[in-house]
Amino acid sequence: MTESMTPRALTRAQRRTLKAQAHHLEPVVIIGDAGLTPAVLHEIDANLASHELIKIRVHGDEREARAVMIGEIGAKLGASLVQHIGKILVMFRPRPDEKAEKPAPKPKTKTRNKQRRTKRSYQG
């Protein structure tokens, strides 16, 4: 888990697209009565690393507590809030560029393809 990351601001168009993608998702992390523990933060971090876009269900009736949790998740994990409806939070954190880590693929050598005959050329 990375500490003190800043959440990325999303544009209106990005937020709308992410809301559409998150519509069919089920919550993958549930924050219980104990609140935002280090174990829960670790699970959120792991799910954001593998999925980028996740839903989180928060048990508890306090709106202010949910707002604090959103700020804490954003500050500690660098995730941006996409949507907050009732007790469901949709969070997004883009994956780091994997292209920088992977070596460039080897160029393929060109091979001459044989001329293929069409189905009609066999008829007649």
Cα 63 to Cα 93: distance, rounded to the nearest angstrom: 23
Pick from 9, 95, 5, 115: nearest CA to 47: 95
Q: Is 93 exposed, middle or buried (0-12, 13-18, 19+ CB in 10 A)?
A: buried
Domains contained in the chain, CATH given: 12-92 (3.30.110.60)
Edge-to-edge order in the sheet of strand 27-31 = 27-31, 53-58, 88-92, 80-85
For residue 2, what pLDDT is reported? 47
| Res 103 pLDDT > 80 | no
Give per-residue pLDDT as tens, 78-88: 999 999 999 99
Give per-residue pLDDT as tens, 41-79: 999 999 999 999 999 999 988 899 999 999 999 999 999
